[in-house]
Structure 1
Amino acid sequence: MKRAPLWLAINSAIVMSIPHVSFAATNDATQLEPIAVTATDKTASQSQTFTKQELEDTGNSETGSVLRQVNGVDADRMGGHGLDTVIRGQTQSQLNILLDGAKIEGGCPNRMDPPTSYAEVSSYDKVTVIKGVKSLEYGAGGTGGTVLFERETPKYDPNKSVSGEVSAMKSNILNFDLNAQAQAVGKKGYVVIQGNTKEGNNYQDGNGDTVKSSYKTQQGHIDLGWTPNDHNEVKFSAEKSSTQDALYGGAGMDAPKADGDILRLQYKGKKLSDGKTNGQLDAVLVDIYQSNVTHLMDNYTLRTPGAMKMATPTDTTAKGAKFKFTHLIGKTELDYGIQLQAVVKNATLYNKGTNKSVSLLWPDAHTDQNGAFVQAKTALTDSQDLIYGVRVDQVTAEAKKANVASDMNVKATSLYSKYTNYSGKTKVDETNWNGLLRYEQRLSKGMSWFTGVSLTSRTADETERFIAKSDWIGNPDLKPEKHTQVDIGLAQATTSVSWSANAYYDQVKDYILRDYAKNQAGLTSLTGTQNIYVNKDATISGAELEATFHVSSSVDLGGQVSAVYGRNTTDKRNLSNIAPVSGNLNAKYIGSNWYTGTRFNFASEQSSVNTEYGENKTPAWSTVDLFAGYTMNKTLQLQAGVDNLFDHAYYNYLNRTDVLGTSYKVMEPGRNIWARVSAKF
């Protein structure tokens, strides 16, 4: 594979940085900071922020797997790479996934490479998970939640202008996971260069059976920053991710390659006002990006082909910009701005035996979403805040090759016409309104609470609207989902205990349902297990609870649990892929320069499934993890552990249903022994 100059620079930085690492012993004891979840603010919240170190007590660094540690978050497994995130029973384009301000669109219509597969956790400083709707500024939709992968501005230290970190990890699942980062920081600017390479195995499940899940990835990025003063920063960033030979035990194809790249230009201005003049501009944020993905999946390069050799090369592009301005007006912080986004997706299914195109899966599908938002936070008193805002998005979606025939003379429009009342349109225009009203209050004794109501719209994505295959047909006439969601939360933080409880209810009009044609009599001319998309009404509700008891200055005992319920109220059926009651109990001991801990993970039986769509019930399961860390000196840290200590055989509740109507599950890894060493210089 030809390597771009970015790769050469990153690899050179990794090699050059290693000799500078000092492993000399020191007599200075290094106090470990507690490894705990920290809220984004001091009040009860729908969001949690994690440093990358807080997510390292596990033997699988694949991003979707890492996010499973968050209460109320899970992921759909197809293989070892590209686990697809689910938050509160919602997934795919119901979530906003932002990689340091940029959006990237996967290249696989079947979600082999969701956006998180291009987000290497070790390359980010922190990850924020927002469950439900807390703000209107992160983009259109986001009805289920938002995940923010963020990189912070490196701090200038006149005594240490050059610094960095290298790490290496090995486990039963991963042959290796190597990461290196170096940064040079001056008074007026900085350079950060980082690279990661990883190789996953075909792992063994708890029964000792091999699950096809191996893959290889490389990722790297360069940040060039200009900081003329403490209040202004301009950053240019270039990032590249590459995956090769990814096997998927839960799919009919594998992915020989998937390449993604992102270019970003950002400006951040803060504390721009003098603090005395009311209404002055106080902050400015500008995010401009472009991302590209090329992806190939086939059924013959990495496996024995079936009756026909099939391949699907794809490419996607996402371009966007966000301009946000902040004014301080009395006791109100006012944010407003515009957000632009354009996505283009192309995918063609080929019969490689004849080398002819079967169908244009994504027939040059374009979706433009341009929005404007205004949101305010007003301090009613010293302990009470009111957050309120409105957002409007103009959507234009078009399949520009919907009337172009494949070599097998298949047109997308001929497939769309299978819908009984198809309008004949291949271009759609929408105007979607969104609103938010939220109240937060800080009480005595470390307690706080919030309640909020939001109205958010999600337009159909390119697959739901325009996918074109004989047994998988998009619906250009889909209406946008309209979510009316109510959230309430209560939390307390004291020296002896920290806990939080959240509950939510989401009433959805025109929920976009993927279903078998046979279940929707009269809506299509099809009567079998062809996959179609229709609008229905639905409800999604649930609750999350977590607590940590600080038994002593060294011992923490905690746990978390979540439950969600989803119902297709139109057809009086369960929604698919809704989690049972699940969570964990955990304990941690923190010494002066070491820590150790354990987790008991569990999920109850899931019997409330969408049987009409072939969804299978899931038995209850539980696993035990052990982990520990030791800081040898100011440079070197060691970590190790065992996931699924008792080698339990189980699979997750999430089901996958392929276009042939077959529902299946992919077994989770068995016992996974792991170790990591990291060094700072």
Structure 2
Amino acid sequence: MPRARSTRLSLAIVTALACLPVHAEVPADAAPAAPAPFDFQQVVVTSARPVSALTFETDPRLPRQPVPASDGADYLKTIPGFTAIRNGGTNGDPVLRGMFGSRLNLLSNDGAMPGACPSRMDNPMSYVSPETYDSLVVVKGPQTVLWGPGASAGTVRFSRDREQFDEPTVKLAGSLLGGSFGRNDQVLDATFGAQPGYARISANRSDSDDYRDGNGNAVASEWNKWNADLALGWTPDADTVLEATAGVGDGEARYAGRGMDGSQFKRDSYGLRLEKKNLPGALDSIEANVFYNRADHVMDNYSLRRPNPDGAMPMPMASNVERATTGGRAAATWLGDSVDVTAGVDAQDSRHRRRSGHGRNTYQLQPWTVDARFRNLGVFAEGTWRAEAGKRVIAGLRADRARATDERTTPGKMGRPNPTAGSSRTETLSAGFIRFERDLVDQPVTWYAGLGHTERMPDYWELFSPDMGPVGTANAFAGVATEKTTQLDVGVQYRRKTWDAWVSAYAGRVDDFILFRYGGAGMMGPMSSVSNVDARIHGGELGVEYRPSAQWTLGGTLAHSWGKNRDAGTALPQMPPLEARLSLGWDDSQWSFGALVRAVASQDRIALAQGSVVGQDLGPSAGFATFAVNGGYRFNSLAQLTVGVDNVFDRTYSEHLNLAGNADFGYPADPVRINEPGRTAWVKLNLKY
């Protein structure tokens, strides 16, 4: 088996590199090497804490437990409040506080990559390899207007640094990972810089076989994916950067919970960015970027599985969808004695097209058909007023003009003429927030309270994927209203030398919440309809970290989300259950050890057969707890070896937010959630020069 040989080779490389006599190169009289240049505040990331009010920031290159992430959604789960709609081994869809889809503004290098699949098989985070980025920043709630429209649940930004070099410099970083079920990853990040500029190449490959659950049953989940990105920067002086970027990628993934697999995840990305800072006068900096991202995605039922003669698709079938998105943003920042302001404009244009065919690869002979177009133009301003020492008021306003055009002739599974073919709808959207932050005098305490409002245009999946719209309307495109969220966020942070603690809570009202309902049977599966309801949401997260000595760290987090359909008086669907994490770590700057307990409560507040374009409530779910351990060794400032075991006791369990197993893989007709991996071991070598 080529994949098995590749896995053994990767493990052999990891072992060989780990055993190199790296200390032999250091002279006996030399000073001890500093700890590795990675940010070792957590040797293995099990949870993140806020760096400021509602803002979480972490280094996605750090080893993570459970087994290091293969996509952006997987890494986001280390931040309290995040979970994902699971559908197998990779490409889960991120969920924050029970909110999903374009309620989360998901950006990579400040560009949008919305994906093309009508059921979000290739959601934006499936095109993100976390280890090829330098930082992950999350802002929870409608508490910023700087990064695009919507974002009622939060904003997620995976970013790469842009550096200045005074002399010729070579920087190399990379990692090798091997693990159970054929897991086999390689990452390389190489930069050459000098005073005129720099060149940086980031590349990765990730591969895995089907995993087995705690009962030893195989779960269709294999994947293979790769990415490569190039950045060329010109730095004529210390305050100016002009950067051009280009990237490509592809992959395939098998899904136990879908009727088709992803046999192609082709990505093309291009960008241009200008930054100028330390300008004279009140205007401190300007930045501008433009981007082009194209997702070319193929789904079929024959590349990674055999067509099921008794299923909904008994013969080979394939669907090819493509979405090309062009956009840009320009912003300027003014700094004053007590007031700082950032203001600017952003725009985005997106075209979606598709083709399909019956038979193997016959889709390639079919012409493309454009079915949807989206445009958005927005203006924004956000500022901070330092009223007096320890007191800050942060506020922002945003206005957007959004337009969607329906190019379909026969929408959905019905095959009837489209009553809105060629029609466009245009909406003017508003958003804003105000937040007060206070640092208590002579106390290591900061508290905040913020009120935010945002109006969100229905996205592609809400306008074009449902089979039916609200009762009495022609279809979803004509009938689904914009979604309006008003939310209060409050919280407290406490920081001392040995203690960190934080609490964040929220309560919101969502008018015209966009809700999917499923029922009946169509040619390709259950029929879906979408409508607007009014909803209430509330919940929160808390965390604590105790450092009794320089070596020991104990921590814990708790996350809770609650939602109600006010119109029906029932639960809002797809709400994650109460989740707690307890972690223990020991680190003496050379050796490290850690343990993680993850406990998830049962969930019986459900709305059966309701949810989103990806997932629906399948019924109550049972609670579970898992235990994981990790250990590490720093050879010197250049190399770190980490090993881990997840689900140590080989528990059989499934997540509440999940897809039902597909009949093609032997799952019964009654919905059955897909089980998570059983005991999983992994070893990872991080290198940096």
TM-score range, shorter chain: 0.7 to 0.9
Mapped contact 1:170–1:675 kept (Cα < 8 A): yes
Give the conservation status (yes or no) of the 8 Å contact 2:61–2:130. Answer: no
Task: State the SS of the aligned residue for 2:226.
Answer: strand
> Could you tell me whether the CA contact under 8 Å between 2:119 and 2:461 is conserved in 1?
no
Query: How far did 1:353 drift?
Result: 8.7
CA distance in 2, matches of 1:164, 1:390: 42
Distance 1:412 1:668, change over 3 A: farther
* Amino acid paired to 1:190: Y
Counterparts in 2 of 1:452-463, with a 5 A limit?
452-463=450-461
The residue identity in structure 1 corresponding to 2:193 is V
Q: Offset at 1:375?
A: 1.4
Shift of 1:40: 6.5
Q: Secondary structure at the match of 1:65?
A: helix
- The answer to whether the 8 A contact 1:363-1:399 is kept is no
Say whether the 8 Å CA contact 1:361–1:469 is kept in structure 2. Answer: no
Report the CA distance between 1:411 and its aligned residue. Answer: 4.5
Find 2:141's aligned residue among 132, 141, 144.
132
Shift of 1:679: 2.1
Match of 1:297 among 296, 299, 315: 299
How far has the Cα of 1:516 moved from its partner?
2.9
Match of 1:410, as an amino acid? G
Shift of 1:31: 3.0
Partner of 2:213 in structure 1? 205
Of residues 624, 627, 652 in structure 2, which corresponds to 1:624? 627
Instruction: Report the secondary structure of 1:93's partner residue.
Output: helix
Equivalent AA in structure 1 for residue 194 of structure 2 = G
The alpha-carbon distance between structure 1 residues 409 and 110, as it changes in their structure 2 partners (threshold 3 A), is: closer
Aligned residue in 1 for 2:527 = 530
**Structure 2 partner of 1:284:** 286
Counterpart code for 1:462? Y
Aligned length: 636
| Separation (CA, whole Å) in 2 of partners of 1:129 and 1:679 | 27
Give, as a single letter, the amino acid of the residue that structure 2 aligns with 1:640: V
| Partners of 1:142 and 1:22 in 2: CA distance | 50
In the alignment, structure 1 residue 154 sits paired with structure 2 residue 160 = no
Cα drift, residue 204 of structure 1 = 0.7
**Which of 556, 563, 585 is the matching residue for 2:582?**
585
Is 2:318–2:357's contact at 8 Å kept on the other side of the alignment? yes
Using a 3 Å threshold, how does the CA distance of structure 1 residues 330 and 471 change in structure 2: closer, same or farther?
closer
1:51 matches 2:59: yes
Contact 1:30 1:631 (C-alpha < 8 Å) held by counterparts: no
Matched, 1:560 2:564: no
Report matched runs for 1:506-521 at 5 Å: 506-516=508-518
Classify the secondary structure of the residue corresponding to 1:228. coil
Do 2:381 and 2:397's aligned partners in 1 also have CA atoms closer than 8 Å?
yes
Q: Deviations over 1:230-265 (max 9, x none)?
A: 211111111112113x11001111111110121111
The answer to whether structure 1 residue 653 and structure 2 residue 664 are counterparts is no
Aligned-partner Cα distance in 1 for 2:103–2:645: 34
> Among 300, 319, 325, which residue is 2:326 paired with?
319
Per the alignment, residue 11 of structure 2 pairs with none
Distance 1:170 1:612, change over 3 A: closer
Corresponding letter in the other structure for 1:650: Y
Given candidates 94, 103, 109, the residue that maps to 2:112 is: 103
The separation in 1 between residues aligned to 2:155 and 2:317, in whole angstroms, is 35
Deviation at 1:488, TM superposition (A): 0.1
Aligned match for 1:541, one of 524, 538, 541 = 538
**8 A Cα contact 1:588 1:598, kept in partner:** yes
User: Which of 258, 262, 275 is the aligned partner of 1:251?
Assistant: 258
Give deviations 1:56-82, integer Å, cap 9, x for gaps: 344232122222111100111112121
Note closer, same or farther for the CA distance 1:31–1:667 as it changes in structure 2 (3 Å cut). Answer: same
Segments of 5+ residues of structure 1 without an aligned counterpart are 1-17, 417-423, 519-527
Query: Per-residue deviation at 1:529?
Result: 5.2
Q: In 2, distance between residues paired with 1:162 and 1:237?
A: 19
Residue of 556, 566, 571 corresponding to 2:568 = 571
C-alpha distance in 1 between matches for 2:257 and 2:662: 12
* Aligned residue number for residue 610 of structure 1: 607
Name 1:494's counterpart in structure 2.
Answer: 496
Q: Is the 8 A contact 1:363 1:468 kept in 2?
A: no
1:594 to partner: Cα distance: 2.0
Return the letter of the residue paired with 1:220: A
Q: What letter is aligned with 1:457? A: E
Q: After superposition, give the CA deviation of every residue in 1:174-194 in whole Å (9 maximum; x if it has no partner).
A: 431011111111122111112
SS of the aligned residue for 2:121 comes to: coil
Q: Gaps spanning 5+ residues in structure 2: where?
A: 1-16, 309-313, 611-616, 664-668
Q: What is the CA distance between 1:650 and its match in structure 2?
A: 0.6
Taking a change above 3 Å as real, the CA distance of residues 508 and 492 of structure 1, as seen in their structure-2 partners, is same
Where does residue 523 of structure 1 map in the other structure? none
Distance 2:150 2:670 in 1: 30
For the 8 Å contact 2:579–2:599, the answer to whether it is kept is yes
Checking the alignment, whether the CA contact within 8 Å between 1:34 and 1:590 is kept in structure 2 is no
Structure-1-length-normalised TM-score: 0.88
CA contact (8 A) 1:73 1:88 kept: yes
- Structure 2 residue aligned with 1:403: 409
Cα offset, 1:410, TM superposition = 2.7
Q: 2:363 & 2:335 partners in 1: Cα distance?
A: 61
The structure-2 alpha-carbon separation of the partners of 1:150 and 1:137, relative to structure 1 and needing over 3 Å to count, comes to same
Q: Deviations over 1:559-612 (max 9, x none)?
A: 001000011111222122101110200010011312111000110001111125
- Deviation of 1:303 after TM superposition, in Å, equals 1.3
1:474 shift after superposition: 3.8
Partner of 2:666: none
Runs of 4+ in 1 over 4 A off after TM superposition: 21-24, 36-41, 353-357, 359-363, 468-473, 657-664
Match of 1:479 among 478, 481, 491: 481
> What is the alpha-carbon distance in structure 1 between the residues aligned to residue 503 and residue 50 of structure 2?
16
The counterpart of 2:547, out of the listed 530, 546, 550, is 550
| CA distance in structure 1 between the aligned counterparts of 2:372 and 2:641, rounded to whole angstroms | 48
Which amino acid in the other structure matches residue 375 of structure 2?
A: D
Q: Distance in 1 between matches of 2:241 and 2:486?
A: 38
Equivalent residue for 2:9? none
Q: Which residue of 2 aligns with 1:5?
A: none
Matches within 5 A, 1:336-355: 336-352=343-359
Residues 459 and 612 (structure 1 numbering): CA distance in 2 closer, same or farther, change over 3 Å? same
Name the CA distance, whole Å, in 1 between partners of 2:675 and 2:653.
6
Q: Deviations over 1:617-662 (max 9, x none)?
A: 1100110111111111222211111011111111111033799997
Report the CA distance shift for 1:517/1:176 in structure 2 as closer, same or farther (over 3 A): closer
Match for residue 276 of structure 2?
269
- Written as runs of structure 1 = structure 2, the 5 A alignment for 1:332-411 is 332-352=339-359, 364-400=371-407, 402-403=408-409, 410-411=415-416
> Corresponding residue for 1:180?
188
The answer as to whether partners of 1:577 and 1:655 remain within 8 angstroms in 2 is no
- Could you say if the C-alpha distance between residues 498 and 470 of structure 1 is closer, same or farther in structure 2, counting changes exceeding 3 Å? closer
**How many angstroms does 1:348 deviate by?**
3.9
Matched with 2:179 is 171
1:131 and 1:347 mapped to 2: Cα distance?
34
What is the deviation of 1:541? 0.9
Residues in 2 aligned to 1:506 and 1:229: alpha-carbon distance in whole angstroms: 47
Alignment partner of 1:71 out of 69, 80, 100: 80
Residues 328 and 507 of structure 1: is their aligned pair in 2 closer, same or farther, counting only changes over 3 Å?
same
Deviation digits for residues 168-218 of structure 1 (CA, Å, limit 9, x no counterpart): 100114431011111111122111112111111100111111010001111
Between the aligned partners of 1:155 and 1:498, the Cα distance in structure 2 is: 34
Match of 2:418 among 399, 413, 421: 413
Q: CA deviation at 1:551?
A: 1.1
The 2-side partners of 1:200 and 1:235 are apart by 34
CA RMSD of aligned residues (A): 3.0
Residue aligned with 2:295, SS: strand
SS at match of 1:341: strand
